[in-house]
Chains A and B, each alone.
Chain A
Amino acid sequence: MFLRNYWYVAATDEEIGRKPFPRMILGEPVVMFRTEDGTPVAFEDRCAHRHLPLSMGKLVGDRLQCHYHGLQFDMTGRCVRIPGQDQIPPTAKVKAYPVVERYHWIWIWMGDPALADPDKITDFHWLDDENWGAKASYLHVKSNWQLVVDNLLDLTHLAFVHETTIGNAALAEHAVVKVTRAPNNVVVTRWIIDQDPPPTFKKVGGFTGTVDRWQIIDFVPPAFLRLDVGATPTGTGAPEGKRVGGINMRNLNAITPETETTSHYFWGQAHDFDVKNKDLTQKIFEQIQMAFFEDVEVFSAQQRNLDLNPNPPQLDINADTGVIQARRIIDRLRGEEQAALQMTAAE
């Protein structure tokens, strides 16, 4: 079951243009496009007349024209032209979703439009900030969205899944982990002190000796994970808050459910050193992307097993603390949203 009254990332800014772009979000077909002045628009991808996806149609000025019988819809979703018919009934409209463009992403509100306050959009400014170098991308995931959230809240997997890039044994075996929680937030802080840096950190940071490495994972529901990650040479004061002579990055993730068993994974990597160096931004991005490709394989393999038996017994280990706290928040919010819907239905 999806959480609906939240802003989700629907697309990257580059994906949306003057060609209608279809994407399934929270189990609903959505079509997105830009008006002539560049404003992003999102409709349900289904003509009000005979259900053809409107994404098969084309833009005529700022109107989206259905491919089947030529009905035209304005940017509010109202039908403004029916070929061969002067009178347009008021029911001739398609659902239009609130949309905001921010941080190089197109955000969509799939719930009650009256609640769509853009101030509630989760902060991802690192992707659009001159003090940071950043590159973002998109991955399609063949698993339920919560498996991706779980993955990012327990980074001990880096030691095993990503040993050629961002992981090494130190991070599973020699770490100090602290989990803090609030009603709508989980923070997992992991310090790995005086250990060898993983391969990616050696390539990007040029470390020669051991490092003090941090991973501070900030989870905000339904599926936003902002990771403050980096390392400095051991003993230079990072645990006390002094980050010098190393690398300081943000790994930024926004997961949007497509269906119950598939997901859209929007992610980016930002760095605060040598920020104008595009080659460096690209190099860091490619290293992290390699790791993310490895994750995507894990997600689909997990999902294949879950498809065979959706509720098997499962073992929880100490490293799951953040995962379990986040799942508990999501369950609570789901209950609250369902209760609110039932109240509305009863009225």
Chain B
Amino acid sequence: MAETGGWQRVAALSDLREGEAFVAKLGDAAIALYRLNDGVYAIGDVCTHEFALLSQGFVEDGAIECPLHQAKFDIKSGRCLAAPATEDVKSYTVKVEGNDVFVRT
């Protein structure tokens, strides 16, 4: 696990595809990376409603829809956009250097 002063390398940029989640571990936390048209974003991968993995859901209009109960979260901010979830998921700072994607720990 390569750590670079508060940043953890979590993926190769070439592994990320628009419209698809890329699952990673940040320490013990399950996170998912998303490539949107203006950059790469990382948010917590566990739905705050009933613990479904959001990465198995559906990316639409910059949001991820939970695979089970249609809760939605903004990929850029982690903000909860639709019930039945009410709490946001955590958002992580991402930087891309060459083909390496880092997330701030």
Contacts and interface: CB of A to CB of B under 8 A. Distances in A.
Interface string B48-62: 001011001110000
Contacts of B50: 316
Contact of B68 (A177, A178, A181, A321): A321
16 contacts: A179-B58, A179-B67, A181-B58, A316-B50, A316-B69, A317-B52, A318-B53, A318-B68, A320-B68, A321-B56, A321-B57, A321-B67, A321-B68, A324-B67, A324-B68, A325-B67
B68 A179 contact: no
Interface in A304-330: 316-318, 320-321, 324-325
Contacts of B68: 316, 318, 320-321, 324
Contacts of A318: 52-53, 56, 67-68
Contacts of A177: 56
Nearest to A322: B67
Contacts of A179: 56, 58, 67
Interface of A: 177-179, 181, 316-318, 320-321, 324-325
Given A316-B52, A318-B68, 5 more contacts: A318-B67, A320-B67, A321-B68, A324-B68, A325-B67
Contacts, number: 26
Contacts of B53: 318
Contacts of A321: 56-57, 67-68
A320 B68 CA distance: 7
B49 to A, nearest CB: 10
Contacts of A320: 67-68
* Top-6 shortest CB links A-B: A321-B67, A316-B68, A318-B53, A321-B56, A324-B68, A318-B52
A321 B69 CA distance: 9
A178 B57 CA distance: 9
Nearest to A323: B68
A174 to B, nearest CB: 15
A317 to B, nearest CB: 8
A216 B2 CA distance: 36
A317 B66 CA distance: 12
A325 B52 CA distance: 14
Contacts of B52: 316-318
A322 to B, nearest CB: 9
Contacts of B57: 321
A179 B54 CA distance: 12
B57 to A, nearest CB: 7
Contacts of B67: 179, 318, 320-321, 324-325
B93 to A, nearest CB: 27
Interface in B53-98: 53, 56-58, 67-69
A238 to B, nearest CB: 20
Contacts of B69: 316, 324
Q: Which of A177, A178, A179, A316 has the most CB of B within 10 A?
A: A316
Q: Which of B50, B57, B67, B68 has the most CB of A within 10 A?
A: B67
Nearest to B49: A316
A281 B50 CA distance: 44
A324 B65 CA distance: 13
A316 B52 CA distance: 9
A321 B58 CA distance: 10
Nearest to A316: B68
Contacts of A181: 58
